[in-house]
Amino acid sequence: MDFLRSLSIFGDTAPRESFQELIEIIQAQADLDAQFDVSDIDHIERWTSCIYMALPIFTRGASSSKFLNYFAKQIVPVFDKIPEEKKLDLLKTVAASSPYAVAQDSRQLLPSVVQLLKKYMPGKKVDDINHNYVECLLYTFHHLAHKTPNTTNSLCGYKIVTGQPSDRLGEDFSEHYKDFIERLTGTEDTVRAASKRLTQGMADFNKAISSAKTEEEKTKIKADQQKSTMTMRSYNNILAMSQPLHGKSPLFIGDKKITLSWMEQPKKPAASTAGGKRTQPASNGNAPLNKKGRGDGGMHNQLVNRAFEGLPRGGGRGSGRGRGRGGRGRGWGYR
């Protein structure tokens, strides 16, 4: 994918249709026309890897519709049965895709997101919550609701007026509102208490590093410190996203104000350099594996053939860059 995006036919001035062609090839690898089999770990990992691979292409205008609809219709109904270690990867990729969903897809996916939110947001203060799940789901909720705000009227009991029949202002959804606000409040109380405990514990890390006798001990303490820092970011994000949702006409965050805790945190803008490499979306350093799936060789052949069809004759800029990357052993397909 890096190789293809370096070519002029898929470059900065390429039409949207070019990127949609790439998405369609990736969609075929994700088996989006097949029934989701919760016992097929290979399918789960392949779906996650494919949508992760597609993220940079979504940013260029290609449709994420098939992936998001598949998640809503096939994956959410059996979400409880998915192995715990795979659930978070699924939620992370959906969260990262949500800013690029169109209004129609947002309207279809929102009920599933609210369903999962109610599952993982407690109705009262508890000892702890799965903060990673809640962060992903709140982020997804905000970005989808920003595209179609009045859909939340029937889901959460809000009173958002757009002038459309879908506002459903004549119906009584007050119980939905009461339940949703109770869950938001319970989540906030839980997160604040957990954040306070974590802050107290983080104060001891530097002292522990100084007193550590071996490098192995220091490495372990630093890893725990980094994990705690990421957890604190998650807590802060949850509070920042839940607080605007308390009003009858809430404010949905649809911009880049929130950076997900496992992503690289924003830095001061640096001067761009010519010929800079395009980068994948930041992850937690443990991106989904690009596992070989059914028809993997077919995908490789389609992509490479399509790429060379568009190469300028005589070894132009696109051709040179493509050979350069290949020459360094990066390859063109899955590892």
Q: Say how far apart CA 209 and CA 225 lie, in whole Å.
A: 10
Q: Say how far apart CA 24 and CA 73 lie, in whole Å.
A: 19
pLDDT tier for residue 302 given thresholds of 50, 70 and 90: low
pLDDT tier for residue 330 given thresholds of 50, 70 and 90: very low
Interval 117-130 mean pLDDT: 92
Interval 98-110 mean pLDDT: 95
143: which 2 tokens? 């970005």
Q: Say how far apart CA 96 and CA 76 lie, in whole Å.
A: 17
Taking 80 as the threshold, does the pLDDT of residue 139 lie above it? yes
8: which 2 tokens? 């002029």
> What pLDDT is recorded for position 166?
87
278 or 28: which leads in pLDDT: 28
Q: Say how far apart CA 68 and CA 50 lie, in whole Å.
A: 12
pLDDT tier for residue 74 given thresholds of 50, 70 and 90: very high
> What pLDDT is recorded for position 265?
78
Q: Say how far apart CA 7 and CA 10 lie, in whole Å.
A: 6
Taking 70 as the threshold, does the pLDDT of residue 31 lie above it? yes
Taking 90 as the threshold, does the pLDDT of residue 3 lie above it? no
pLDDT tier for residue 12 given thresholds of 50, 70 and 90: low
Going by C-beta distance under 8 Å and a sequence separation of 6 or more, which residues neighbour residue 179? 118, 123, 157
Query: Could you give the percent of the chain with pLDDT greater than 90?
Result: 50
Q: Say how far apart CA 62 and CA 55 lie, in whole Å.
A: 9
pLDDT tier for residue 329 given thresholds of 50, 70 and 90: very low
> What pLDDT is recorded for position 290?
47
293 or 36: which leads in pLDDT: 36
* Mean model confidence pLDDT for the chain: 81
Taking 60 as the threshold, does the pLDDT of residue 299 lie above it? no
From residue 298, give the alpha-carbon distance in Å to each of 4, 27, 49, 123, 305: 16, 13, 17, 49, 11
Whole-model pTM: value is 0.78
Taking 50 as the threshold, does the pLDDT of residue 257 lie above it? yes
The model's pLDDT over 161-186, given as tens digits with 9 standing for 90+, comes to: 989 888 998 899 999 999 999 999 99
Mean pLDDT is lowest, of 38-47, 78-87, 301-310, for 301-310
Taking 80 as the threshold, does the pLDDT of residue 268 lie above it? no
**Residue carrying structure tokens 């990992």:** 45
pLDDT tier for residue 222 given thresholds of 50, 70 and 90: confident
Mean pLDDT is lowest, of 103-107, 112-116, 231-235, 291-295, for 291-295
Q: Say how far apart CA 155 and CA 191 lie, in whole Å.
A: 24
